[in-house]
Structure 1
Amino acid sequence: MSPLACRQCGSTDGPFTADGICEDCDQPPALGLHTDLSNEAYHADKTSLSSSGARKLLPPSCPAKFRYEQDHPQPATKTFDYGNAAHKLVLGNGPDLVLVDADKWNTDAIRAEVAAIRAEGGIPLKQHEMDMIEAMAAAIRANPLAAALLDPAYGAPEQSGFWIDGPTGIRRRVRFDWLPSIQSGRLIVPDYKTADDASEDAFQKAVAKYGYNMQAAWYEEAAQALDLGGEDTELLFIVQEKKPPYLVNVVGIDYFAREIGRAKNRAAIEKFAECMATGVWPGYGDEPNYVALPGWIENRDKETYL
């Protein structure tokens, strides 16, 4: 049965694809900056590469995982819900937050209510979860630097951009959490993240684990490619803890780490171009892969046992 409306843009004009997307949404977004592109339409474009996709293409992941996750979107988790809900109240854009007034979601009626909210694209929350998200948003507004970077009078949330990579010709994309509307002088792009620990030590580990240096380099290149900023453009992370007092830390990535991120991005772009051209998305390889001990363990054990 054909859907009544496009699941991305809401248009009732058909025809619709098997995924419930109208003919217009089935086309990749045009190059340039989009101020009103939905999150669903942004992520639906499989012809372009994003920062998170670039990180998924490189070790310890691989192109096969990247391709699988493109075709099989991951189900919502509480961590994912909290991050999206905080984005909604802090940035002012995102899915609706819907209170489910029950301490336990263990009855058929409540489960059906939660499922219906998710089917409509919303985020179901318990009262204590809603209170937490509202307190986090208040803590952001109380932090002078974070509040200035996210001032609604001088910027807008969820701006998407698409451009062509010169060396490979592939489409690249970016979705800025927040883009300043006044772009005279140096462009500072804030990116909001929630964390269990917002200290510099903890975020340094997160940079290594999640490749945030690659993200910083990607977004800075995006701003230049879209004529939003110059070579001095910088991404700053607004990191906020999810437990009281919901501390906020504004953190930048140093130059050398960003340059490493830029080089890794280039390797991922080349890999994406190769996979797109061949239709082959490799896993870990067809030959044995040999690994060494971590350096500190090798140094410790060779002194003791060799």
Structure 2
Amino acid sequence: MTTTAQAGAQAPAAGPGGITDPGVYQMTNEEYHADRGSLSSSGARKLLPPSCPALFRHAQDTPQEPKKTFELGNAAHKLVLGEGPDLVRVEAEKWTTNAVKAEVAAIRDAGAIPLKPAEYEQVSAMADALRRHPVASLLFDPARGKPEQSLFWRDKRTGVMRRARLDWLPDVRSGRLIIPDYKTCRSAEPAALARAVDEFGYHQQDDWYRSGAQALGLADEDAAFVFVCQEKTAPYVVTVVEMDATARRIGAARNRRALETFAECTATGVWPGYSDEIAYLSLPAWAEIRDTEEYL
């Protein structure tokens, strides 16, 4: 298999439309997310119900304030993958004084992640627990791949430039290629993870990332995409999951709809909300059944 561009190459300066040459690029997280000419997996999910194109466009136009849950997840990613923003331990369990608030703001302004002492110990313990897991430790073996690789490729049917930022790009070697993605979660119990897949659209991410790897010649159709899911509370249990065929087909179909929606909205400049007409509503099925039995 050959790649369209050399893995790890520096990203070219993006013009108004963003990167236009398919390939695998080495870039910062900020540079990756700043590319407005391409569509990411998270963006594709934002275009479809229960969201809508108007919310997608607003999210692109409105910078997000740092959220503690995102910072903890990013900190865990840093220790697991070995790449990402610096982690700075702030020696204060409460960030209420003006001095500590100023210190935290300065850390964030410098592009680093501030952590309370207990949080620093938490993410360190999470990384240690993952390295003890017999499967996860191999999937993120520093000798077997590269972290944080950005993929750009063009969708043949719509002409939309697509992008994906792989947590880990394994080295091509004999056997089935397995591409892992690291997720922190409240529960790594399989049934809870199935609900999270539906809620956050992880089956779409599965198809999106495998499609990018295949389009760039990094993987064949037999390549697997797995989620390495780790609980954020002790003992930081890890579960590695792979989507079944039905989930992948549904994810692919939703991605196709999102690509078509993005192409149409980009061409027309119209980013609609949930409905442009009066919506006709029924009660939720469970409420209808409940009240029919009680009152009718």
Contact 1:183 1:229 in 2 (8 A): no
Alignment partner for residue 184 of structure 2, among 194, 206, 210?
194
1:127 lines up with 2:117 in the alignment:
yes
Residue of structure 1 equivalent to 2:270:
280
Query: Aligned partners of 2:40, 2:174: CA distance in 1, in Å?
Result: 27
Residue of structure 2 equivalent to 1:214:
204
Query: Aligned partners of 1:240, 1:198: CA distance in 2, in Å?
Result: 6
Letter in 2 for 1:89: L
Residue of structure 1 equivalent to 2:261:
271
1:50 lines up with 2:33 in the alignment:
no
Alignment partner for residue 251 of structure 1, among 225, 241, 247?
241
CA deviations on 1:124-177 (whole Å, 9 max, x unpaired) are: 001110000000000000001000111110011101111110011110001101
Query: Aligned partners of 1:56, 1:89: CA distance in 2, in Å?
Result: 28
CA deviations on 1:185-209 (whole Å, 9 max, x unpaired) are: 3221100000011111111111111
CA deviations on 1:237-279 (whole Å, 9 max, x unpaired) are: 0000000000000011111011001000000000000011111
Alignment partner for residue 297 of structure 1, among 282, 287, 294?
287
Residue of structure 2 equivalent to 1:232:
222
Residue of structure 2 equivalent to 1:11:
none
Deviation of 1:183 after TM superposition, in Å, equals 3.8
After superposition, the CA RMSD in angstroms is 1.5
Deviation of 1:281 after TM superposition, in Å, equals 0.9
TM-score (norm 2): 0.92
Q: Secondary structure at the match of 2:19?
A: coil
Residue of structure 2 equivalent to 1:14:
none
Query: Aligned partners of 1:238, 1:25: CA distance in 2, in Å?
Result: 32
Alignment of 1:1-306 (within 5 A): 24-26=13-15, 28-306=18-296
Higher relative contact order (CA 8 A, sep 6+): 2
How many residues are aligned here?
A: 284
Contact 1:183 1:228 in 2 (8 A): no
Contact 1:189 1:236 in 2 (8 A): yes
Q: Secondary structure at the match of 1:236?
A: strand
Contact 2:168 2:181 in 1 (8 A): yes
Query: Aligned partners of 2:255, 2:20: CA distance in 1, in Å?
Result: 22
Letter in 1 for 2:52: C
TM-score (norm 1): 0.89
Moved more, 281-290 or 84-93: 281-290
How much identity, in percent, do the aligned residues show? 57
Deviation of 1:26 after TM superposition, in Å, equals 4.8
Deviation of 1:230 after TM superposition, in Å, equals 1.1
Letter in 1 for 2:238: V
Deviation of 1:184 after TM superposition, in Å, equals 3.2
Deviation of 1:79 after TM superposition, in Å, equals 0.5
Residue of structure 2 equivalent to 1:6:
none
Query: Aligned partners of 1:216, 1:261: CA distance in 2, in Å?
Result: 7
